[in-house]
Chain A
Amino acid sequence: MRKGMMFGLAALAALSSGTMVTTSARAAGEAIPLPQHTWSFDGVFGSFDRASVQRGLQVYREACAVCHSLKYIAFRNLADLGYSEDEIKAMAAEVLILDGPDDDGEMFERDGRPADYFPSPFPNDKAAAASNGGAVPPDLSLMAKARPDGPNYIRALLIGYEDPPADFELAEGSNYNRYFPGHQIAMAAPLFEDGVEYADGTPATVEQMATDVANFLMWTAEPKLEERKGMGIKVIIFLLVFTGVLYAAKRKIWADVH
């Protein structure tokens, strides 16, 4: 039986190393090591740093929303971040939403409500590309899951703007970024020291804003992360206990066979 188990473990190890290939291959494709930040949402007990996520929302609204949509987030979702109903209503009311048609068949604009989704800055991709030198600013809702090591990548990208090396030929309309694959990105550096003024007095360094907005985008990508991790602990503890009981039952029933 022991031999069988070892065989099983070996096969499992073989298979899991097979899976690891995929991930490492992805990372290897770009081969630019990202600076690793310690995120509060990492680990088994991880949760979002509410203050940072709220600051990240501010950064998004003030520094990214002119170009990037956030299609999958509705104002009502902000309740998860600790905003009160009134605060959410106030934030929603700051945007204009195209609604209709009304009873006369006309489209009309109205103030946003909590049930509305974040409005997109451009009516379509063509308009977005036209305003951005041909490059479409991607929707940011899922960005933290749509890139390898997403949160670290977003943070690195935002602090990665620097002068190109002397021998680097930068294409017209491109910006040099240390962490963008190929180093030429159509997005100009969006963050500047004190570009936003944080209500909680946190100094708005580029690094701070990058970290906050990455935290926020992790929340937009995986809003159920806390629920998931919290449930996971309970499920796994239950399974361990239950499996222990089954093991005892197995020992007992098999006692007369071995």
Chain B
Amino acid sequence: MSGFQSNNAVIKWIEHRMPIFSFIDHSVGSGYPTPRNLSYMWNFGSLAGVTLVVMIVTGIMLAMQYTAHVDYAFDSVERIMRDVNYGWLIRYIHMNGASFFFIVVYIHIFRGLYYGSYKAPRELLWMLGVVILLLMMATAFMGYVLPWGQMSFWGAKVITNLFSAIPIFGEDIVVWLWGGFSVDNATLNRFYALHYLMPFIIVAVVVLHLWALHQFGSNNPIGIDAKGPQDKIPFHPYYTVKDAFGLGVFFVFFAAVVFYIPNYMGHPDNYIPANPLSTPAHIVPEWYFLPFYAILRAIPDKLMGVIAMFASIGILFILPWLDRSPVRSGRFRPLFRIFFILLMIDCVVLGFAGAKPPEGLWLIAGQLATAYYFIHFLVILPLLSVFETPRPLPTSIGEPVLKGGGSMAGAPAKPMEKA
């Protein structure tokens, strides 16, 4: 590990009293050794971090103009769109930023699923990630209520009503959540307060997530541990520049949506002011919740549906102990690979099913896909850990990456990495 050095007198003065520069250097600088073979799949973590910052910055700017009152919320958002300087831009960035946040985080999660990043010694890192996902979902759900359009109102109503399925206390809990006997001003106000708060809790959990990450460093596409310094390169400049390039590509996609199809991922009904007396024909959540919505509705019993929906995320917490295969990367697991692709397809099917009314073929598809989702984690993964014969692992990270093929001196050849 390269010690941090500087000739600048001011930096030296500060560093002596508070070693913040070496801290930064060890976190994202040249003092942080990183596997040399990370693919572009490893860009999505930094993308998620940047998106979080974008959401917080645009959110605070919106908050300066937004009014959390049932009579003014919708109008205040329209005022932002029409009269506030660049208000339309800030709002469209925030609105689509939520979708992009989920796109990035879902890719980030599937990356982890494929390369076994949840396996020892990164279980806690993975679990903190699942906590972030839950917090993001809560934040986005409450944010969507704020413009107080028809989908805001009815989405809030449907989702909060789920808690009435809880035996005995259900109805009381719902009244408690609402702060009254219906989704009303008190509900909007508390959602606003929490929507402002939760992103900062996410920041705190992200710090823990990164702390856990730095303990063992990144996993990599091969999934074997680094055998020595020859397998690693300093984070800066290699991954700073690679992340910056990835960020540029990401911003091109993001800008294309914000400037050219800003309402594509939204629902037209949310441009109708909330009306408690008129129920929309189909109440659908934002696209990023559709797979979970499908699981919820796949089960006829309300309570069981709610439990299944939460379990679909809860199961990720125990994933490190469900998949016991000592091989991390899907590249060396011929059967796992197939089931991984099936899981991705399954999630897409769930997304489709969540968008359709729960009837006919789509209901059945949603039910089958729900069953398969749980079978994947509870049956297939544990069985694969026992019955699958993994392909031989490379002996070191350097070997398959370096041109010329010569394996680096000092890298002990081990056929398989212990988990």
Partner of B265, one of A7, A19, A247: A19
> In the bound complex, do residue B355 and residue A25 qualify as a contact, i.e. CB atoms below 8 Å apart?
yes
> In the bound complex, do residue A232 and residue B347 qualify as a contact, i.e. CB atoms below 8 Å apart?
no
Given contacts A14-B348, A232-B255, A249-B241, contact A145 B268 (CB under 8 A): yes
Q: Shortest 8 CB-CB distances between A and B: which pairs?
A: A232-B259, A4-B39, A243-B248, A18-B351, A146-B271, A21-B355, A25-B355, A246-B245
Find the residue from A15, A23, A258 having the highest chain B CB count within 10 A.
Answer: A15
CA distance A170 to B383 in the complex (A): 62
CA distance A173 to B52 in the complex (A): 52
Partner of A21, one of B233, B242, B262, B351: B351
> In the bound complex, do residue A72 and residue B82 qualify as a contact, i.e. CB atoms below 8 Å apart?
yes
Cβ of B181 under 8 Å from chain A: no
Given contacts A231-B89, A243-B245, A246-B241, contact A146 B272 (CB under 8 A): yes
Q: How many residues of B contact A (CB 8 A)?
A: 61
> In the bound complex, do residue A253 and residue B238 qualify as a contact, i.e. CB atoms below 8 Å apart?
yes
Across-interface contacts of A21 in B (CB, < 8 A): 287, 290, 351-352, 355-356
Cβ of A147 under 8 Å from chain B: yes
> In the bound complex, do residue B267 and residue A14 qualify as a contact, i.e. CB atoms below 8 Å apart?
no
Cβ of B371 under 8 Å from chain A: no
> In the bound complex, do residue A44 and residue B284 qualify as a contact, i.e. CB atoms below 8 Å apart?
no
Contact with A along B244-274 (1 / 0, CB 8 A): 1100110110011011101111011101100
CA distance A145 to B112 in the complex (A): 38
28 residue pairs from A and B, CB less than 8 Å apart: A1-B40, A4-B39, A4-B41, A4-B221, A7-B41, A8-B41, A11-B344, A14-B345, A15-B106, A18-B287, A18-B351, A146-B271, A181-B281, A224-B81, A229-B260, A231-B259, A233-B259, A239-B251, A239-B252, A239-B255, A240-B252, A243-B249, A246-B248, A247-B245, A249-B245, A250-B245, A253-B237, A257-B238
Residue ID in chain B nearest A148 by CB atoms: B268
Across-interface contacts of A142 in B (CB, < 8 A): 78, 271-272
CA distance A44 to B256 in the complex (A): 10
CA distance A229 to B89 in the complex (A): 11
Residue ID in chain B nearest A143 by CB atoms: B271
> In the bound complex, do residue B271 and residue A145 qualify as a contact, i.e. CB atoms below 8 Å apart?
yes
> In the bound complex, do residue A150 and residue B245 qualify as a contact, i.e. CB atoms below 8 Å apart?
no
> In the bound complex, do residue B78 and residue A72 qualify as a contact, i.e. CB atoms below 8 Å apart?
yes
Shortest Cβ distance from residue A80 to the other chain B in the assembled complex, whole angstroms: 10
Partner of B244, one of A26, A141, A246: A246
> In the bound complex, do residue A1 and residue B39 qualify as a contact, i.e. CB atoms below 8 Å apart?
yes
Across-interface contacts of A15 in B (CB, < 8 A): 103, 106-107
Residue ID in chain A nearest B74 by CB atoms: A142
Give residues of chain A (169-185) contacting chain B, Cβ–Cβ below 8 Å.
181
